[in-house]
Amino acid sequence: MFWLNIVAGGVISFVNIVYWTLPEIESNLLLYNVGAPVGPMIGVLVGLNMAVLAGGFFAKMAWDRSGEDRMKFVLLALGMFTMTVGGPLHDNASTFLMYVVADVLISVSILLILSGLYVSWVYSRLGLKE
Amino acid sequence: MLVSFAGYLKLRFTLRSSDNETLRHFKNFFGWFGVFQLFMAWPMFVPVVLSSVKLGALYIVSHVFLYV
């Protein structure tokens, strides 16, 4: 997987240089204006890594467990899936609204991941500790 | 970015007491992901407005860390 990412990343970087587009700043918002083929390519690679492998790994861990541990891995898997959608959306965004949607998705995913990491603390606070 | 580095540090300390290959991969993931986000957020940290060429180059270089 490491070398697949390095090779695919090298190809994407090469395409990014070939389809070089200049970013611009519009009313304090930095628009990267990513080249047309680059955004979807990054989306596919990130989807494979974070949604399929990392998200799938956490989903499998949740499937095999129960109670507090299951909730922890469900939240981590959901966070990974949401980040996979929100992250590459930044590369494909061309309007202010698309950036807002992408940022909201990333914020939600960070909250989900943090909730997953600290689910034990929340459970003990709510008196749900087994 | 801060969450990524916090995850990296947390796993780094965890790995001191017990070695685990999966956790080691996640530690590396959080570390490189944090570096990627640091580079992407760099224009917000510097007090000058970077040129379009520098911003475009920063985008390409930062994504290399994402692929790693």
Residues in chain A with pLDDT values less than 70: 129-130
Please indicate if any CB of chain B lies within 8 Å of the CB of A30. yes
Count other Cβ atoms within 10 Å, centred on residue B6.
14
CA distances from A49 to A83, A99, B31 (A): 11, 22, 16
Summarize pLDDT for B32-68 with one digit per residue, the tens.
Answer: 999 999 998 888 888 888 888 888 888 889 988 988 8
Give me the pLDDT at residue B35, please: 94
* Euclidean distance between CA atoms B58 and B68, whole angstroms: 16
A41 CB near a chain B CB, below 8 Å? no
How many angstroms separate the CA atoms of A5 and A12, rounded? 10
| Contact residues on chain B for A110, CB-CB shorter than 8 A | 3
Q: Which of B7, B29, B59 sits opposite A23 (nearest CB)?
A: B59
Contact yes or no for B65/B36 (Cβ under 8 A): yes
The predicted-structure confidence for A21-55, as pLDDT tens digits, reads as follows 888 887 777 888 787 888 888 888 888 888 888 88
How many CB contacts within 8 angstroms connect chain A with chain B? 50
Nearest-Cα distance to chain A for B33, in Å, is 11
Q: Which residue has the tokens 């918002």?
A: A29
Domain boundaries, chain B: 2-67
- pTM beyond 0.80: no
- pLDDT digit string (tens) for B11-40? 898 888 888 888 888 889 889 999 999 998
Q: Look at residue A107 in the predicted model and tell me its pLDDT.
A: 92
Fill in the amino acid letter for B42. Answer: W
pLDDT at res. A101: 92
